[in-house]
Structure 1
Amino acid sequence: MAKPDEIHTISLSFTDFPEDVQLCILSFLTPSDISNFACTSKRFVSLCRDDRRLWFSMCNRKWGSKTQINKWGNGKISYKLLYNTLLEYENLIGFWRRSGAESDSPLIFFEWGTFHIAGSRVKPSRNGTYEVIKLPFLWMGITSKGEIVNYLDPVGKVELSGNVMNLDDLGVVESELVPVNVNFVGRTHVVVEENGTAFGYSCNSPQNRGFKKVSSSGNMREEEYEDLCVSPGSLPDRLMSDIYQYFANKTSPGGNGSARRQRRRERERQGRRKWEPEDYVKIVNCSPTPARPLQGLWKGFRDETTLEFFLVSYDDIGGIACRRLVELCKPFSAYAPVFWTSNTTFIESPLSSEEENIYEGRMHIQPLAEADDLCDILPSADKRVILCMLCMNSSYDLVIPDLAGSTVNPRQAEGRIWQYENGTFGFGFLRDNYVIDLRCIAQNGRILEAAYISGE
């Protein structure tokens, strides 16, 4: 056995490794790093262009567990193109809310499909259960020719099967689908608008498949993106400036007037109503964390028949705000929270006898279909065991100063928030005698208790 002072270090260069090892190392780099590395040697150019071994490995490592990499584009496109495309799409995954318009289904959910990205409208059911209705309406993918395709299905009749992505292979009438552009404005705002005609061709004609690639979402530095993620449901001034610039460019005089008129004439000729653009804002903090256990999207019954979606967020001044999701689409919605409290200090269990009496003397609002049997609501392992409790002073004086000092101010009320052992929570005001229990809408990137509907 060699003595420590007899051990010699052998230095190896990158070229000394077998090619398979070199490709494995390169697969951990970013595309820009690979591009820079290819400039160092003619030998490395071919290595960096190895589509099947290098770029497939990069795609499969990053997204292989979420989608079937070899089915995108019918398996006929380059994996380098696929990598750059999926890198654009990745920011879409998760929950978004509609902005600027009232809607009974303001919640949008983007998820990975087998060979596409699927966007669905998520809305509460009205059948007296905790089920949520999931309505797929937007499909994004790549054709076998490498064309980016985004199309909207307003009536919910299209079902993708196999590995097709071309409209010709879907077996539907093209007029049932609306070609759309999906454009990022920053990283937390998306505009989905109909893709009109250009140069006199129909957007569905073979000469002009008017599908536009998702615009780059990498126009912001990482620290700027973190700034946007601080407060869900609000848009900083910088992002508003980007949105204004986007729409100003779309409507500037003389900028694209002739093309817009041509598109309008073509739509009138086809006799089809234009699909109005929709704006989505990303809900960046949609799940609870150990530091923020109440944060995220929740669902609960406002009464025995009405299931509601709630968004709970921790604000910049240390408070907790709970809002109905539908309220966020209305004017001055930020001024109408379900509750707001500046107190974030939980009291650990066991609770005092007084607090036990406050909780036990209340009724839990339950759906009518489940009210008769509590055991059907929560499994035996998930009974409402209280983990901790928060004293809530729901004062809105900081939000609506004009209400301060009024003789009757229902917006000032003492209440409690009870966090349960299973991760959910309930809240109630002392002036009432009931608890509104909230459940998670999604877990581990999957919507819970979802009923898939292909049409209404």
Structure 2
Amino acid sequence: MATIRDPSLAIDESGRAISFSDFPEDVQLCILSFLTPPEVASFACTSKGSVSLCKSDCKLWFNMCDRRWGSKTQIRKWGNGKITYRNLYQTLSDWENLIGFWRQGGVAISSPLILFEWGPSFVTGFRISPAKDGTYGVVKAPFLWMSLSPEGQVVNFLDPEGRAEISEDFADSDRFKFWESDLVPVNLSVMGKTYFVVEEDASFGARGSSSSGSGRVNNSGVGEDLIGAAESSGSPGTSPDQAVVEIYQYFANRTSPGADRASRRQRRREKERQARRKLEPQHFVKIVDCSPTAARPLQGLWKGIYDDMILGFYLVAYDDIGGISCLRICDQSENFCRLMRFISKQPVFWTVNPTFIESPISPEEENLYTSRIHLRPNAAADHAHQHLPLAGNEIVSRILRINLSHDLALPNWPRPNPLLAHGRIWQYGDGTFGFGSLQDCFIRDLKHVAKNGHLLDTVETLS
């Protein structure tokens, strides 16, 4: 008959059973920090000593937070170090899925591409748009700031102006200078793992409002009563929105040469905020597969020039049966809004047969490639009628036949059948690629937007 060994016991070299409680506490905490919260909850049920160990916020829950996110954010800075780490673990677990690229639904007012990244004590969503400096550069403009107040409550603010300097205010969460920065308080409603909605929080700033109404993230995460005997997270008292008002009024009204000016400035900002049109809800869908893989080498976000030498972004996706399609997702040209209305109807290029033509490449295919001009930022504008020399990593490694939508890629190109044409994808030795139609003499070379989770070729400000 098989015996079941107690998982809390270990065996030493002599074969003697060692209880988990016999290990030093730091060793126990190190081991437990590898567990998930449900596993910690199960372990807490094994003994009274386990309950005490699992309730240790500054030890166990800090270790769990630090092990999982310590290399990405500064764990001790969140909530100015005044919140419980169990509460922080729950919040960061909820927000972790936000990290990465998202695409705004509908017709976006500005760039529809959003990138969420970890900050020192907050999460920032950036609008990503192509630079207008004639290069492959991209611009990161702050869009959404998410953090925790010292009371442990979620605070979310949208930045209509995209000002990078506001990050200093979030880094110093004890000051809460958001009212001075004209940020818009918002609620973030997450639905599943691939969809969220941002809506203005009209109740923000109202005195006496409940703590559940400020900048809340509504989604399913780690339960508050994960360990029933654990202490409740945060501390009772002033809600974060009330705290912002009180802190600002304190500094604005204290006796000083600039107090009257600060008070007038605050009243003026409040009037401007009340007069501003209410922010419409904004919907976002996650770009799940934004990087290429060995099985899907063309997959992901890419950047390349559109017509008139305007840089833009492309999204290449594989379907369940191996087909490939490419869509435009960001265009800085005047036709951007018009293109967004058609983007869901027809891709730039597509194929149902993702079989590459491997080396050796036939002379006919080689001639199709070598007879074309590469369209690139700057170089394309300066040498529009010259054949550009190829870099070593742009030697073609293999070729894919595609169908190409000329009404999106080449809208002004005259032809009897403007909707459909054949083309090629030429993949280069460094994994990047270019594509073009057989009915013209150009290749649109594409480059990576991001690599290993890091945005490439960023520039400081919009031109």
The normalised TM-score by structure 1 is 0.77
Runs of 4+ in structure 1 off by over 6 angstroms are 266-269, 378-381
In the TM superposition, 1:132-151 aligns within 5 A as: 132-151=138-157
- Report if aligned partners of 1:304, 1:366 keep a CA contact under 8 Å in 2: no
Return the letter of the residue paired with 2:214. F
1:320 CA drift (Å): 0.6
Return the letter of the residue paired with 2:296. R
Match status 1:196 vs 2:202: yes
Partner of residue 29 from structure 2, selected from 16, 23, 34: 23
Matched residue, 1:414: 422
1:382 CA drift (Å): 5.2
Distance 2:43 2:59 in 1: 17
SS in 2 for 1:347: coil
Identity %: 52
Matched residue, 1:300: 304
**Structure 1 residues 144, 439: CA separation in 2 closer, same or farther (over 3 Å shift)?**
same
Unaligned ranges ≥5, structure 2: 1-12, 223-269, 331-335, 407-414
Distance 2:341 2:391 in 1: 42
Distance 1:380 1:68 in 2: 44
- Report if aligned partners of 2:122, 2:171 keep a CA contact under 8 Å in 1: no
- Report if aligned partners of 1:98, 1:280 keep a CA contact under 8 Å in 2: yes
- Report if aligned partners of 2:93, 2:221 keep a CA contact under 8 Å in 1: no
Partner of residue 272 from structure 1, selected from 271, 276, 279: 276
Match status 1:341 vs 2:342: no
SS in 2 for 1:92: coil
Distance 1:37 1:132 in 2: 48
Return the letter of the residue paired with 2:216. K
Match status 1:426 vs 2:425: no
In the TM superposition, 1:56-455 aligns within 5 A as: 56-157=62-163, 158-161=165-168, 164=171, 166=173, 168-170=175-177, 173=180, 176-197=182-203, 203-205=204-206, 207-208=208-209, 210-217=213-220, 270-326=274-330, 330-331=340-341, 333-368=343-378, 372=382, 383-394=393-404, 408-453=416-461
1:292 CA drift (Å): 0.3
The answer to which of 93-102 and 105-114 deviates more is 93-102
Return the letter of the residue paired with 1:344. P
SS in 1 for 2:166: coil
Distance 2:455 2:312 in 1: 15
SS in 1 for 2:88: helix
Distance 1:268 1:172 in 2: 12
Partner of residue 41 from structure 2, selected from 35, 42, 50: 35
- Report if aligned partners of 2:292, 2:298 keep a CA contact under 8 Å in 1: yes
1:164 CA drift (Å): 4.0
- Report if aligned partners of 2:351, 2:403 keep a CA contact under 8 Å in 1: yes
- Report if aligned partners of 1:193, 1:275 keep a CA contact under 8 Å in 2: yes
The one-character-per-residue Cα deviations of 1:282-307 (angstroms, maximum 9, x if unpaired) are 00011100000000011101235211
Distance 1:62 1:380 in 2: 44
Distance 1:146 1:122 in 2: 30
Distance 1:381 1:64 in 2: 40
Q: CA RMSD in A?
A: 3.0
SS in 1 for 2:288: coil
Return the letter of the residue paired with 2:309. T
Return the letter of the residue paired with 2:168. S
Return the letter of the residue paired with 1:308. G
Distance 1:213 1:134 in 2: 25
SS in 2 for 1:43: helix
**Structure 1 residues 380, 362: CA separation in 2 closer, same or farther (over 3 Å shift)?**
closer
**Structure 1 residues 169, 392: CA separation in 2 closer, same or farther (over 3 Å shift)?**
closer
The answer to which of 161-170 and 319-328 deviates more is 161-170
**Structure 1 residues 357, 450: CA separation in 2 closer, same or farther (over 3 Å shift)?**
same
- Report if aligned partners of 1:110, 1:117 keep a CA contact under 8 Å in 2: yes
Distance 2:289 2:17 in 1: 47
**Structure 1 residues 171, 186: CA separation in 2 closer, same or farther (over 3 Å shift)?**
closer
**Structure 1 residues 173, 448: CA separation in 2 closer, same or farther (over 3 Å shift)?**
same
Unaligned ranges ≥5, structure 1: 1-6, 198-202, 220-265, 397-406
- Report if aligned partners of 1:390, 1:418 keep a CA contact under 8 Å in 2: yes
- Report if aligned partners of 2:90, 2:221 keep a CA contact under 8 Å in 1: no
Distance 2:196 2:389 in 1: 39
Aligned length: 384
Return the letter of the residue paired with 1:148. V
1:332 CA drift (Å): 5.5
- Report if aligned partners of 1:303, 1:366 keep a CA contact under 8 Å in 2: no
Distance 1:307 1:379 in 2: 21
